Amino acid sequence: MRRAAPPCLVLIAVLALPALARANDASLEHALHGYESKLTTDIGYLADFSAPSRGGASGALSRISGTQKDLSAAYRAASGQQGSSSTGRSGRSLVLSALSEANTAAGDAKASADAARSGNSSAARSDANKERGVIDQAIPRFEQGGKDLHLF
């Protein structure tokens, strides 16, 4: 009986590893699932962002502030989890990269709104163009990472 115990324990451990891998990927998916609708709305806003008028700058700044909070919260949630399968790790990496780029884009949008509020429409347009370039790079990463993590 004692001779059979070590091989049985090894067999149980080997059989349990795939279940643990799925559990870690599932916890990563679950952590991000709560942000799915917020991120969809926020990324859509950033994708459609254009330099606001002087009068619309305050509203844009308020919306951008909320977007930055959502992006930061989602980043914390994703970075606090680990994917255990190669697809889960790849999806997590893509989502973290996209969230970082989206946060940079939100910073550019804020700079655009700040410039518009101060009356510098040229700088507002320039910053809005920078924002659009950065968010255009982030969107494909969000799409692939979301598919990898079964978010949509």
Q: What is the mean pLDDT of each run of 10 residues along the chain (152 residues)?
A: 46 41 69 87 96 96 97 92 84 93 98 97 97 96 90 73
Q: Is there a domain that residue 138 lies in?
A: yes
The candidate with the shortest Cα–Cα distance to 117, out of 63, 52, 48, is 52
> What pLDDT is attached to residue 33?
84
Helix extents (H) in 34-149: 36-47, 57-79, 86-117, 121-148
CA–CA dist 141, 152 (Å, integer)? 13
Q: Is there a domain that residue 6 lies in?
A: no
DSSP state of 53: P
> What pLDDT is attached to residue 86?
87
> What pLDDT is attached to residue 2?
52
Q: 92 near 80, Cβ under 8 Å?
A: no
CA–CA dist 72, 78 (Å, integer)? 10
Q: Which amino acid is at 24?
A: N
Encoded tokens for 88: 């889960």
> What pLDDT is attached to residue 9?
39
* Domain CATH number, residue 78: 1.20.120
Q: 87 near 69, Cβ under 8 Å?
A: no
Q: Is there a domain that residue 70 lies in?
A: yes
Q: Is there a domain that residue 16 lies in?
A: no
> What pLDDT is attached to residue 21?
40
**Close Cβ partners of 96 (under 8 Å, ≥ 6 residues apart):** 75, 78, 79
Which domain covers residue 128, as residue numbers?
Answer: 35-148
pTM above 0.75, yes or no: yes
CA–CA dist 144, 130 (Å, integer)? 23
* Count of the separate structural domains present in the chain: 1
> What pLDDT is attached to residue 27?
81
